[in-house]
Amino acid sequence: MLEAIRRSPRLQRLLLIGPAVAIVVVFMLLPLGLMAYVSFLERGQYGGVIWDQYTVEAYVGFFFERDFLDNLVVNTDYVSIYLRSFLLSLLTTVIALAVGFPVALYIALQPPSRRKLLVFLVTIPFWTNLLVRNYAWILLLRTNGLIDQWAQGLGLTDQSISILYTPAAIAIGLTYSYLPFMVLPIYASLEKLDFRLVEAAYDLYATRLQALRRVVVPLSLPGIAAGCTLVFIPCLGAYVTPELLGGSKELMIGNLIQLQFGASRNWPLGSALAFTLLAFVLLAMLVYLLRFRKLPE
Amino acid sequence: MDIRRFPGTRFATWVFFLYLYLPIVILIALSFNENRSATIWTGFTTDWYVQVMNNGDILNAAKNSLIVALWATVIATCAATFAALGMARRRFKGQTAVSGVLAMPLVVPEIVTAVASLLFFILVGFDLGLLTVVVAHTVFCIPFAYLPIRARIEGMDPRLGEAAADLYADEMRTFLRVTLPLLWPGILAGAMLAFIISLDDFVITYFVAGAGATTLPVYIFGAIRIGISPEVNAISSLMLIVSLLFVSLSTLLTWWAGRRGAA
Amino acid sequence: MMEASTLAPAADAPTSAAAPKDARIVIENAVKVYASAGEAPVRALDDVSIRIAPNEFFTLLGPSGCGKTTLLRTIAGFEQPTSGRVVLDGVDITGQPPFRRPINTVFQNYALFPHMTVAHNVAFGLEKSGLGKDEIAARVDEMLALVHLSGMHRRMPAQLSGGQQQRVALARALAPHPKVLLLDEPLSALDLKLRKGMQIELKRLQRDTGITFVFVTHDQEEALTMSDRIAVMKDGKVLQIGPPQEIYQRPQVRFVADFIGETNFLKGRLEPGGVARIGEAAVPLASAQGHAEGETVTLAVRPERVFLHPGEAASPDTLGATVENIIYFGTDTTYHLRVDGLPDPLVARVQNRDQSSPTFGQGARVRVGFPPDGLSVLRD
C-alpha cells in the first residue's frame, strides 16, 4: 500500500489535494445544490418543505402573491428589495471607486518602504470584525450620536440629525466595510505601471489630467474592474450592515433571505432568493473574468 | 512641478485613513467611558471590562469562539497545507477546477453559504451545535489558509521540490527537513488568518449555531439588537484588539520570512 | 509655474571653449542635489553650463551615475534643478512642466503606450497641436515612412520587435516637430548589429529633420561616430566639451583621456622652448597653454600616435625601449614596450599597411617618438 503511494505521483496528489477538496465539495457545493433543489419544492404548512412536491411557486413568488381567492397579484415588495440592493451596491461601488482610486494612486507613488506600510494599514480593517466595525457606526450615526453631537456643537444644525436607519447609513456602512477591496487591486495594477509612460505622456504635451485619463486609467483598468467586482459582490449579499444600520424598513437581499428562514418560515422562497443572488454574483464574476482576465499586461 | 505628484491624492488618502480608523478609535475610546449613555464622555473607567470579565454568558461565548476557531484552524490548515503541496507539483488536468473549488468559499456570498449550510445540516439530520459551527467554519477557513501557503510554495525554488521528488527513498525526510521548514512561515501565517476569520465570523455562525453554541460575534449581535451599551463597547473593543494583534503578528511574520528570502 | 522671461546675455561657460554664439538650448549653472534622510546629499548636477546650437547633434557622454540622464531629464522638465536655468531659444523654461516644452524625448525603454496602436502612439503628441484629423493622419503616415514602418499603423507595441519599437518611439517623439529631441540611451537595448544600423539611421534623421538632438550614452564609440559635439561628464560635472576629434585627440583631463579610447599616460617636466622632458628625451609640444615652466605634468598620448623606429636611441627627442609583448590584430599590431627610464609600460599601435610596415620581434630594441600634436598636457 505504502509502496503503491510512493510509486504513483498521481495517487500522492490525490491524497494531498483530496481532503481539502472533499471538505469544500461536501459541505459547500453539495449544500448549494441542495439549496437549489429546495427552491423548487412546495413549502410545508408549518415551515420546512414537502419533499416530493415540485413547484416553481418560490420563483413566481418573486413577482406575485396569491390573494385570498388564489389569484396571482403583482407584488413589488421583493423586486423593490432586489432593486434597492442593486442600487445601494452600485452607489457604494461608485463612491468606493471615487475615493479608492486617488488613494491607490497616492500609495503607488510613494517610496517602497512607505508603500508597504500604507498597504498594511489599508488591509488591517478587513481582518477586524465586520459586526464590530458596523457597530461603531451606530455610535456615530444615531440620534444624539457623535456626528449629531458634533454637528450641533459646531452649529451646523439646531435639531438633531438622524442618519441611522436610512439608506444613506447603509451606503456609509457598506462603503466602510468594503473600501479596502477597491484600493488594493487598483494599487496592485498601479504599482506595476511603468511611470515612464506617464512621463512620456507629459513629454507629448498631455497635462496631468490628460495623462491620468489617457494612460494611467486605461492601464489600471484591470485593477479597477477587479476592485469594482470585489466591492459590488459582497455589497449585494450584505447582511450585517443593513441589519444594523438600515433597521427593519430598509431591507436588502440578505435580510430578506434571512427572514424566510426566521419569521416567515418559507424555505423554498428563501432558497430561491439565495439561489438568484448566487446567480447574479456568479454572473458578475463571469463578466469580470471574460472581460478583464485576458487583457495584455 | 513635481510630476510624480497628483494634487488631491494625498488629501484623499488622509480622508480615507481617517474614515477607516476614526470609528475604530472612537469605539475603543468610548469603551473606557464612565458614562452609561455610551456616547457622552464623562470620565475614564475600566469598569466595563471588569463587567465583561465577570459576565458568564460572555465568557461562555468566548470559550465557544475559541473552541470553534481552534478546531477549524487546525483542520483547515492541515487540509490547506496538503492541498498546496499537491497543487505545487507538476501541472495536471483539472488543476484550474480544483483551484476554483478551493476558492469558492471566497466567492459565494456569506448569506448564501449560511442558508445552504443550514438547509444541509437540517435535512441531513445533524443537530445544530458546536460541531456544525466547526464544520461550516472549516470550509471557509480553507481558502484563507491555502492562499498564503500556496504563495510561499510559489516563492520557493522549484528545484528544491524537484530534488525532493527525485530522492524517492528519502522523500519523507526531505519533506520534514527541507520543505516543511521553508514552508513554515506560510503555514503559520495561513493558520493565523484562518483563526481570525473564524473568530470574527458572524453570518454563517448565526445560521448554523443552534441554541447552545453562541459564539462571541453572535452574542455581540444579540446585545447590539437590545441596544448599545458600554459592555458592548468593551467586548467589541476586545475583539478588535485581538484581531489587530493577530493580523500584525501574521504580517510581521510574512515580512520577516520574506526578508530571510523564500530560499 | 515660473513666468517665462527673456534671457539676459549669458557669460560664456568656462568649460565650453568652442561654444556657439547662436544657441538653441542653454543650461546655465545647473545644480541638482538629491537629499535623502540619513545620507549625505548627492550632487547629481554640479554647476553644469552648456550651450547647444540649433541643428546640432550633441552628446552627453559619461559612465553611469555621472549625471547625464539627470541633465537630460532637467531639459525635458521631469526634474527641477536645485538652482540654475534652462533656456530655450532665449526663453527661460526652467519652471515649465514637460507638457509645455516643445521638447520631446525618446525614452531608454521607449515607453510606448502598450494599450494604444502604433498610429495612436505617434499621434498622441499631435492632439494639442491644433492640427485637423486628416493632417494628423498625414503626419503619422509621414513619420512612419520616415522610420521605415509604413503600414504598421494598427500594430500594438507588444507585437513589434525591439528595433521596431525603437523606431516607433522615434517617430512618436519627432511627430510634433520639437525644437529639441532628447534621446536617453535609446540604443542600449538593441543588439550590436541593429545598434550600428540605428546609429547611421539616427544621424540621417537628424540631418533630414534639422532638429537639435541631445543624445545620452555611456558608449564612447557611439558618441564619437554620431556627434557634432560631445560633453564628457563625471560626478555631476562637465569635464570637457568639444567635437569628437578634439575630445579624442586633445583630452584636457585624465578622465576624458582614459574614458575615451586607449591612452598612455606619461609624467613629464615642462622646459623652456615648449619642450617636455620625458625620461631622457626632450619632446617638443604643440601647446602647453596654462602650464608654467618647470611644472611636472601628466601627458597623454594615444597608442597609434606613438612612433616606433628600429635601433637604439639616436636623437634627443626619442626614447629607447624594449618590446615586451606583441598582439596582432590584423589591421594593426599592438606593442607593449618597456621604456628606458619610465616606470610604466607604454602601448604603441602600428598599422599594417603593407609588407613594408616595420615589425619588431619580442625583446627587440626600438626607438620611441611622439609627434608634437599627439601629446596632450592634462589638467588635474
**pLDDT tens for each residue of A154-169:** 777 777 777 878 888 8
A155 part of contact set with chain C, CB < 8 Å: no
**Whether A106 contacts B12, CB under 8 Å:** yes
More confident residue, A6 or A286: A286
User: Do A205 and C176 lie within an 8 Å CB cutoff?
Assistant: yes
Q: Where in chain A is the domain with CATH 1.10.3720.10?
A: 88-292
Instruction: Calculate the average pLDDT of chain A.
Output: 85
User: Do the Cβ atoms of C80 and B1 come within 8 Å?
Assistant: yes
Instruction: Output the pLDDT for position B161.
Output: 58
| Whole-number pLDDT of residue B186 | 83
pLDDT, tens digit, for every residue of C124-165?
A: 999 888 888 999 999 999 999 989 999 899 999 999 998 899
Using alpha carbons only, what angle is made at residue C77 by residues A189 and A101, rounded to the nearest 5 degrees? 25
State the amino acid at position A116 in one-letter form: K
Q: Among partner residues A105, A135, A278, which is closest to B108 by beta-carbon distance?
A: A278
pLDDT the model gives residue C38? 73
pLDDT by residue, tens only, chain B of 263 residues: 577 788 888 999 999 999 999 999 988 888 888 877 756 778 888 888 888 888 888 888 999 999 999 999 999 999 999 998 888 767 778 888 888 888 888 889 999 999 999 999 988 888 888 999 999 999 999 998 898 888 888 777 666 656 655 655 456 666 777 778 778 888 888 898 888 889 888 999 998 987 778 899 999 898 888 887 888 889 999 988 888 888 888 778 777 776 665 43
CB–CB contact A132 B236 (8 Å): yes
Q: Does A296 touch chain C (CB under 8 A)?
A: yes
Phi, psi of C214 (to 5 degrees): -115, 115
Give the per-residue pLDDT at C11. Answer: 38
For a pLDDT cut of 70, what percent of chain A falls above it?
96
What residues in B contact A27, CB-CB < 8 Å?
117, 120, 135-136, 138-139
Domain C25-102+178-254 fold is: Rossmann fold (3.40.50)
Does C76 lie at the interface with A, CB-CB under 8 angstroms? yes
Query: According to CATH, what is the number of the domain B48-259?
Result: 1.10.3720.10
- Most C CBs within 10 A among A203, A212, A220, hence the mutation to make, goes to A203
* pLDDT at residue A105 in the model: 93
- What confidence tens digit (pLDDT) does each residue in C8-43 have? 333 333 444 445 667 899 999 999 998 877 778 889
Q: Is the pLDDT of residue A66 over 70?
A: yes
Mutation target for B interface from C1, C78, C86, C94: give the one with most B CBs within 10 A. Answer: C78
pLDDT at A97: 95
What backbone torsions phi and psi does residue C277 show, to the nearest 5 degrees?
A: -90, 110
The Cα B105–Cα B256 span in angstroms is: 29
Instruction: Say which range, A172-181, B72-81, B148-157, C51-60, has the weakest mean pLDDT.
Output: B148-157
Q: Which residues of A touch C156 (CB under 8 A)?
A: 296
pLDDT of residue A67: 72
Average pLDDT over residues A210-222: 90
Query: Position B164: which residue type?
Result: A
Cβ contact A296–C114 (<8 Å): yes
Whole-number pLDDT of residue C175: 93
Please report, to the nearest 10 degrees, the dihedral formed by the alpha carbons of residues C85, C87, C91, C95 taken in order. Answer: -50
- Comparing alpha-carbon positions, the chain A residue that sits nearest to C174 is A204
Query: Contacts of residue A197 in chain B, CB cutoff 8 Å?
Result: none
| Residue of higher predicted confidence among A218 and A70 | A218
Report H helices in B158-229: 158-166, 171-174, 180-200, 203-208, 216-226
Q: Of C170 and B168, which is predicted with more confidence?
A: C170
**CA dist., res. B213 & res. B130, Å (int):** 5
* Chain C interface mutation, best of A189, A195, A198, A205, highest count of C Cβ atoms under 10 Å: A205
- Cβ pair B3:C80 closer than 8 A: no
Alpha-carbon gap: C97 to the closest alpha carbon of chain B (Å) = 6
Residue in C231, C341, C247, C352 with CA at minimum distance from that of residue C300: C247
Which partners does chain B have (≥3 C-beta pairs < 8 Å)? A, C
Could you tell me which chain C residue has the CA closest to the CA of B1?
Answer: C97
Q: How far apart are CA B143 and CA B198, in angstroms?
A: 12
SS3 category, B235:
helix
3-state DSSP assignment of residue C109? coil
Asked if this assembly's ipTM is beyond 0.95, the reply is no
Per cent of chain A over pLDDT 90 is 29
Beta-carbon contacts below 8 Å between A and B? 261
A88-292 adopts what CATH topology?
MetI-like fold (1.10.3720)
* pLDDT the model gives residue A295: 42
* Partners of chain C (3+ Cβ pairs below 8 A): A, B
Indicate the class that CATH gives domain C262-378: mainly beta
Contact yes or no for A206 and C99 at CB 8 A: yes
Q: How much is the pLDDT for C21?
A: 67
Residue C311 in grid coordinates = 635601433
| Cross-chain residue pair A203–C127, CB shorter than 8 Å | no
Indicate the burial class of B60 (C-beta count within 10 angstroms; 0-12, 13-18, 19 or more): middle
* pLDDT of residue A96 exceeding 90: yes
- Quick: pLDDT tens for C239-261: 999 999 999 999 999 999 999 98
The b-or-e profile of C29-45 (16+ CB within 10 A means b, else e) is bbebeeeeeeeeeebbb
**Least confidently predicted of A42-51, A205-214, B191-200:** A42-51
Distance from CA of B47 to the nearest CA of C (A): 46
Cα B57 to the chain's mean position, in Å? Answer: 23
**Residue of A20, A35, A212 lying closest to B119 (CB–CB):** A35
Least confident window among A256-270, B75-89, B173-187, C81-95: B173-187
pLDDT tier at A297 (50, 70, 90 boundaries)?
Answer: very low
A160 to each of A140, A237, A249, C99, how far by Cα in Å? 13, 32, 21, 51
The pLDDT-based confidence of C361 (bands split at 50, 70, 90) is confident
pLDDT of residue C9: 38
- Distance, in Å, from the CA atom of C140 to the CA atom of C121, rounded to the nearest integer, reads 9
C4 band by pLDDT with thresholds 50, 70 and 90: very low
Q: What was the pLDDT predicted at C29?
A: 93
- Crossing angle of the two packed helices B180-200 and B230-259, in degrees rounded to 10: 160
The reply to whether residue C97 touches residue B1, judged by beta carbons under 8 angstroms, is: yes
pLDDT at C356 over 70: no
